[in-house]
Amino acid sequence: MDKVDFEGACHCGGVRFRVHLPGGLKSARRCDCSFCRMRGAVVVSVRLDGIEFIAGEDLLTLYQFGTMTARHHFCSRCGIYTHHQRRSNPNEYGVNVACLGVSPFLPEILVHDGVNHPSDGGGNRVAGVLRFTAF
């Protein structure tokens, strides 16, 4: 059975949290929108009530762009992106898997088409697959 409960933290450890992922890491994905291309994080989906902040919630800073719907949260000390409230499903957060102590270098990650976002009528499609091969 996949692990479902994870503890997470930013790089400096100031922001610490727990997440409950009933599907484990099955929702792991990337996005190809302008912001996600630069950020490069692999995220998993968690319900809004599936995250609990243990410490440092007051250290989080917010970034929004475009439609100002998604809410991207970063540690104000170390700058690490921890999570965001999703634009395509505002009832969920996308959580940075690297903050959960999980390597983002998973064998295969779906890349969602964020350039043609579902909220803009672009459908909900996969833009590609990112594969990691260790040497």
State how many domains the chain has: 1
Indicate the pTM of the whole model.
0.84
Q: List the CATH number of the domain containing 118.
A: 2.170.150.70
Task: Answer yes or no: are the C-beta atoms of 67 and 25 closer than 8 Å.
Answer: no
Please write the tens of the pLDDT for every residue from 31-67. Answer: 887 887 888 889 999 999 999 999 999 999 999 998 8
Q: Which residues pair with 72 in a beta bridge?
A: 63, 84
* Cα–Cα distance for residue pair 21/51, rounded to 1 Å: 9
Note down the domain range covering 42. Answer: 5-131
CA-based radius of gyration for the chain: 14
What rounded mean pLDDT belongs to the chain? 88
